[in-house]
Amino acid sequence: MAESRAAVSPSPLVGEGKGGGDGRTFAVGVPPTPNPSPQGGGESPPRGFERTQTWIFDLDNTLYPADCNLFSQVDRRMGEFIARYLGVPYEYARHLQKTYYRQFGTTLAGLMQVHNMDPKAFLDYVHDIDLSVVSEHPELEQAIAQLPGRKLIFTNGSRAHAERVAGKVGILHLFEGVFDIADAAYVPKPVPACYDQFLKMHGVDACTSAMFEDMPHNLEAPHVLGMTTVLVRSDFNYDHPVQKTIRSWLEPPAHVHHMTDDLTGFLKGIRSLSKAVA
């Protein structure tokens, strides 16, 4: 659980959102309350966005709504690829898929380490999906465009997949670049070395950066590095182990500084407050 910190008065923007006792913003469909301190840990106030110069976004279930269920196609195609590649029944392939995900952080990492598999064919196959379920999102485009500074996509998937999806949403042109699993030498989030490589490749200062993710454990390393962290959550896929964990929290852990189920509204709130204090 999150360590105890001094409480701060909530902003009127918080509305009916959920706030932790340490002053962090855990908004449900409402804008954030940036905190005046960029540093976290110990007894320091939680990190806000007033110093943020680089905005880092995960792709899947973060930059598009989880309820479009796009990742279910990727998930199914992973099982199909493993069954064909190893010559095993689909049910056993699915078992291996989930086992490798839990053990190695991604299914791909497990296939590479256990079976010495070349990753390119796997990535090409699992990301050959129907994007008709993904809608253009002009409100999100506007919210990201108004953020001051650099914008980057940081994904455990492939660059081609990120570019296709972000292009379909209508936001690809806003991003300076994509850091994908190949750039990370196939070392996935949440492994700390993956984040180190990202920072080095793109010349990013972690202490002036914010990371948006749908997986809480992928925010642990960013927190340690000094980033402001935002969990983009959804009640979709209700029975997923990660969703069960999130629902069990009395308050989010210390590495989750802010939480929202409305990325567009959250980003608009950041920009509105930045203008107000400028």
CA pair distance 86, 259, nearest whole angstrom: 40
pLDDT in tens, the chain (278 residues): 333 232 222 222 222 333 343 444 554 444 444 333 333 344 466 689 999 999 999 999 999 999 999 989 999 999 999 999 999 999 999 999 999 998 988 899 999 999 999 999 999 999 999 999 999 999 999 999 999 999 999 999 999 999 999 999 999 999 999 999 999 999 999 999 999 999 999 999 999 999 999 999 999 999 999 999 999 998 777 677 777 888 888 889 999 999 999 999 999 998 655 554 44
| Cβ proximity of 226 and 245 under 8 Å | no
Fold agreement (12-67+136-277, 70-126): no
pLDDT of residue 34: 39
* Fold category of 12-67+136-277 in CATH: Rossmann fold (3.40.50)
Among 32, 39, 40, 38, which Cα is nearest to 11's? 32
Q: Is 61 left (phi over 0), alpha (psi -120 to 50) or beta?
A: left
- The rounded Cα 42 to chain-centroid distance in angstroms is 25
What is the CATH number assigned to the segment(s) 70-126? 1.10.150
Torsion angle defined by CA atoms of residues 5, 7, 8 and 12, in that order, rounded to the nearest 10 degrees: 120
Residue boundaries of the structural domains of the chain: 12-67+136-277, 70-126
pLDDT of residue 208: 97
pLDDT of residue 105: 82
pLDDT of residue 114: 97
- The rounded Cα 34 to chain-centroid distance in angstroms is 19
What's this model's pTM, rounded to 2 decimal places? Answer: 0.82
